[in-house]
Amino acid sequence: MQKIKIIVSGGGTGGHIYPAISIANALKAKQDDIEILFVGAEGKMEMEKVPAAGYKIVGLPIRGLQRNFNKENLKFFSRLFKSLRKAKKIIKEFKPNAVVGVGGYASGPLLHAANKMGIPSLIQEQNSYAGITNKLLAKKANKICVAYSGMERFFPADKILFTGNPVRKDLAKLDNLKSEAQQFFNLDPNKKTLLVIGGSLGARTINHSIIENIEAFRNEPVQVIWQCGKFYHQEMKEKLAKANVDNIQIFDFVSRMDLAYACADLVISRAGAGTISELCLVKKACILVPSPNVSEDHQTKNAMALVDQDAALMIPDIESKKRLVDESLLLLHDESKLVKLRENIALLAKPNAADEIAEEILKMIKQ
């Protein structure tokens, strides 16, 4: 029997890359001799993260259009044509049985070339609001895996599969980790714990909302684990030291997110699709502060999909400095509301997303 070959394309952010790697791992678990090639965008983080996960990756020269006028925008079309040519060449040489697009710049040229060449394709749309690239690619795609209901607004209903977003396997079993987590972070088991996360680079508004209202934590019977991101770490650390508030631990990056989630009673976070899928899986009450710096304001739409189910609270970025700290402290003292949010967010979890998507890819190849 001929070896199955699959190209997984996309990236740009962790929200695209980690689901892509999860899908590749699930495919390998189902059929060890599958050959998987990743196609990303040159200079983007996938070029580093994918090889670290043990997979080969090829880069396309594609770049996105900048919102403000920028000289780089003048090169957009030449890069796009070069990327389309290179994508076609990669497909001819690798001869995949199927291609998978996870969003991000590289998935456009690769899936477009594959569709032209009659190769089956599957799109994995992480957000509740589909991006332009995936809406265009959907017309020729065989299957579209989504994480939110109502996606027939963007895609043909007969192609949609509600699988959820793939998340890291280490987050699936946190039930017995709470005491280990409390020891790891040196926490008081009798106090409520607030976890503040803004991604590996940090979230400017969330960080400033915390530091500008830092005094509010001083006499509260709560403890805070604050991942502020490497970009803001030095500045926030110095300001925290001056404030002399001792129930807050600050990190540039939390390596054991499983333990951070395990001990958290409440999470403050941006509303990226991957993070929301993690919060559903780990069943955590959360306050979401959507980033305004994303295309089509999709983080607000992601957050509202939870708010409408009474599964999260949302504070707009522009109101965060005034409201975030006060409302998080109020919520930490409202046990019945915390329980309600935990119960409702747990109903939205899709723990087997990567396996279901892998199964659909293999099924598509056999058909």
Whether 299 has a binding-site annotation, put simply, is: yes
> How many residues in total does the chain contain?
367
Record the tokens describing residue 224, joined without a space: 């805070």
Whether 14 has a binding-site annotation, put simply, is: yes
What letter would DSSP give residue 170? G
Residue (of 160, 126, 177) closest to 280 by Cα position: 126
Q: Are 276 and 304 in contact, with CB atoms under 8 Å apart? A: no
Pairing state of beta strands 35-41 and 56-60? parallel
The H or E element spanning position 338 is helix 335-346
Whether 164 has a binding-site annotation, put simply, is: no
Q: Which residues of 170-190 are buried (b: 16+ CB within 10 A; e: fewer)?
A: ebeebeebbeebbeebebeee
The Cα–Cα gap between 320 and 289 comes to: 7
The amino acid that residue 313 corresponds to is L
DSSP structure string for 123-159? EEE-SSS--HHHHHHTTT-SEEEESSTTGGGTS-GGG
Region of 198 (left: φ > 0; alpha: ψ -120 to 50; beta: rest) is alpha
The Cα–Cα gap between 184 and 259 comes to: 8
Record the tokens describing residue 236, joined without a space: 């926030």
Whether 200 has a binding-site annotation, put simply, is: yes
Whether 168 has a binding-site annotation, put simply, is: yes
Residue (of 301, 261, 270) closest to 288 by Cα position: 270
223 Cβ neighbours under 8 A, 6+ residues apart: 187, 188, 191, 192, 193, 194, 247, 248, 249
Binding residues: 13-15, 127, 168, 200, 299
Binding residues for UDP-N-acetyl-alpha-D-glucosamine: 13-15, 127, 168, 200, 299
